[in-house]
Amino acid sequence: MADGFYEAMRQKGFSYNTTASLKKFTCPYCGFEFSMIYARTFACQGCSEAWKNCPKVRCDKCDTEFFMTETPQINDVYQQRAISEHITKIVTKYNNDMGYKPSR
């Protein structure tokens, strides 16, 4: 079912970066299932690195931080950089739209 959702997003013109940032994976430390965009929006909220293309993901449940390359959908540092830049743009736009500042 989930593969069909991502395939439909791709057919509608969504980039790999968008679909990969929304795809859920399991935290390698506690087993919590979440997406990278969820982590950046909630677990990384208030962290100044989240606004600077941080290559890490933080689990909202166990608060463990690990590199994106430790997730199944990111295979190398080039994908890691592309995804982190993409997520930063999304979160920055959201925060700007909501009136939030990076230092909050």
Q: How far apart are CA 70 and CA 28, in angstroms?
A: 8
Residues of the chain with pLDDT under 50: 1
Instruction: Give the three-class secondary structure for 29.
Output: coil
Domain assignment present for residue 33? The answer is yes
Tens-digit pLDDT profile for residues 74-96: 888 998 898 888 888 887 888 78
- The predicted model scores a pTM of 0.73
103 occurs within a structural domain:
no
* Cβ neighbours, 10 Å, residue 44: 22
CA 97 to chain centre: 19
Instruction: Kindly state whether residue 52 falls inside one of the protein's structural domains.
Output: yes
Query: Count of domains in the chain?
Result: 1
Domain contains 104: no
Give me the domain span that covers residue 69: 2-98
